[in-house]
Amino acid sequence: MVFRKKQIIALLKGIETGDAASIAVVNPNKYIQHNPQTHEGGVGLAELFKKISKSSPRVNIVRIFADGDYIFAHTEYEFSQLNVGFEIFRFEGEKTVEHWDNIQLRQGPNASGNSMVDGVTRAVDHDKTDSNRELVRSFVTEVLIRRQLNKLSNYIEDDYVEHNSRIENGVSALYTALSFPDAIEYDKNHRVLAEGSFVLSVCEGNLYGTRVSFYDLYRLKDDKIVEHWDTTESIPPESEWKNDNGKF
């Protein structure tokens, strides 16, 4: 688990240098790419890194976690502009064979003074990994997809810390944000990954009528959600995809 995290850190830092050796962790014969803007396989990834490195990028891995054969990371990127993203890699043995991501422009801080990346970074309560995963899965299903907002306080701590640039701290601010009709619509939960007190959910839906992917990272304590980070990215039309694997 620790070794795989180190491999992914080296891979992501390779964006800064464009060094082809950084993608040694990728199995080129099996690698499935879910970023619609990147060509399939390890060759496409090497080409992307080489292209990006010419802009003198900076990469900061803020948080990184493991869940079975999955490694997921919360990252900052500085290319021609500042971006925040989540990266997910699936492993088979010592090589990664599948990748998903969700990247947006960095915004904020929000009205509570929180940036998109600050806050707690280390997972604790590893014995609660499975129960925390199921709590978030239930929250996403009942509150975000079914819009049972009356159940919000069952899942969210009153002094909840919010890192979304448009929302303040506290459960009441979140309730208000989710109450606007046709603003934030979650349709489907594709994946929930967890390590201890941190849980990442991957969802599909709409934001003000635009089809998007929602990546939400939650920190839990004592069976309640106490902190939240996210990125939202528009899903391009299929005619613009550079691979046929889909966003999810």
DSSP label at residue 112: T
Per-residue pLDDT at 45: 64
CATH architecture of residue range(s) 2-106: Roll (3.10)
Which CATH fold topology does 126-234 show?
Nuclear Transport Factor 2; Chain: A, (3.10.450)
Per-residue pLDDT at 222: 97
Q: Fill in the amino acid letter for 194.
A: A
- How far apart CA 191 and CA 217 sit, in angstroms, is 12
> Can you tell me which residue has the tokens 């694997």?
245
Question: Both ends of the chain: CA-CA distance in Å?
Answer: 24
Is there a contact between 115 and 109 (Cβ–Cβ < 8 Å)?
A: yes
DSSP label at residue 127: G
- In this structure, what token pair is assigned to residue 18? 């464009």
- How far apart CA 18 and CA 104 sit, in angstroms, is 22
Per-residue pLDDT at 15: 80
Q: What are the strands, taking DSSP E only, across 32-94?
A: 32-33, 58-67, 70-78, 82-92
Assess whether pLDDT exceeds 70 at residue 183.
yes
Bridge partners (DSSP) of residue 201 are: 192, 216
DSSP H helices, 29-151, are: 41-53, 129-139
- Per-residue pLDDT reduced to its tens digit, 2-14: 899 999 999 998 8
**Segments of the chain assigned to CATH 3.10.450.50:** 2-106, 126-234
Report the share of the chain in percent with pLDDT over 70. Answer: 93
Per-residue pLDDT at 49: 65
- How far apart CA 79 and CA 29 sit, in angstroms, is 29
Is there a contact between 236 and 122 (Cβ–Cβ < 8 Å)?
A: no
- How far apart CA 216 and CA 160 sit, in angstroms, is 14
- Per-residue pLDDT reduced to its tens digit, 101-155: 999 999 999 999 999 999 999 999 999 999 999 999 999 999 999 999 999 999 9
- Per-residue pLDDT reduced to its tens digit, 203-228: 999 999 999 999 999 999 999 999 99
Per-residue pLDDT at 48: 64
Pairing of strands 224-234, 32-33: unpaired
- Per-residue pLDDT reduced to its tens digit, 26-74: 998 898 988 877 766 555 566 666 666 666 679 999 999 999 999 999 9
Q: How many whole angstroms from its chain centre is CA 56?
A: 24
Is there a contact between 69 and 92 (Cβ–Cβ < 8 Å)?
A: yes
- How far apart CA 91 and CA 68 sit, in angstroms, is 9
